[in-house]
Amino acid sequence: MTAEGTQGTKQMRIGWIGTGVMGHSMAGHLLDAGWPLTVYTRSKGKAEPLIARGAAWADSPAAVAAASDAVFSIVGYPADVEAVMLGPTGALGGLGAGGILCDMTTSSPELARRIAAEAAAKGCSSLDAPVTGGDVGAREATLSIFVGGDAAALAKLRPCFEAMGKRIMHCGGPGTGQQAKLANQIAVAGVMFSVCESMLFAQEAGLDVAEWLELVVPGAGGSTAMNTLGRRLLKRDYAPGFFIDHFIKDLGLCLEECRRMKLVLPGATLAEEFYRMMQARGHGQDGTQALIRCLAHLSGKEWRGQP
């Protein structure tokens, strides 16, 4: 896919804020597809590989927006989203009339609605478009993308989304993309207990866990997480496809929405507590699969893995 014709006869200029584990790959796909790209991240060194491939550097989110027709962001926490979008040097301040903001961070639905309202007041549009698929999905451009906001803005940015992912859902108005992603995170929380508890049980039962995994993955008990993170666990590989610190943030947002909706979800509440225990023990920068270490510790066991 190329960028030709994405904005009538004019080639759309893209801004990108945040080049971490996910953002670096996602921005790279847009660059590879031919869109002129301007980038900003707090640590310029993280953007150097993109700059070496042809991206331009800007020294603030506002400067990114001034050089762009549409600005994407994927940063860490809602406070970061608010700063890069609405802060004193935020993207909205530099965006021209008719421009589009698109935040792809997993963030607060309420904040997404506020960004959309402030963008509209300036004659701009805003989308909240968080993703699922992890670091592998970002690298391989197979992400699923949940989009909330204006349908016309989505139509303009759809070619960009298609360069980054395989499945795109328009969920509704502002904030609904975030709500859809939070529902996904609740599902992930349950799946991580499934993967870690079953593998720990298999180990303690004396089974060949690697062989057991091969039988379970294609069956009713299998899952994408079992197939990917389960295999990492065999090697005791706790490197993050998704940081525990960020998952705690997501689950906290889920529980905030539950309180607003007067909804009780015991599984999500329990998952948030367990991951906070992991964080307190210094594992916040591990991947979510490190949950198995906490579960083993509860029984005085150790996850040994299996080559």
Q: Can you give the three-state secondary structure of the chain, one letter per residue?
A: CCCCCEEEEECCCEEEECCCCCHHHHHHHHHHHCCCEEEECCCHHHHHHHHHCCCEECCCHHHHHHCCCEEEECCCCHHHHHHHHHCCCCHHHHCCCCCEEEECCCCCHHHHHHHHHHHHHCCCEEEECCEECHHHHHHHCCEEEEEEECHHHHHHHHHHHHHHEEEEEEEECCCHHHHHHHHHHHHHHHHHHHHHHHHHHHHHCCCCHHHHHHHHCCCCCCCHHHHHHHHHHHCCCCCCCCEHHHHHHHHHHHHHHHHHHCCCCHHHHHHHHHHHHHHHCCCCCCEHHHHHHHHHHHCCCCCCCCC
Residue 207: C-alpha distances to residues 213, 220, 305 (Å): 10, 19, 12
Among the listed residues 46, 181, 249, 262, the single catalytic one is 181
Determine whether 156 is an active site residue. Answer: no
Kindly list the catalytic residues: 181
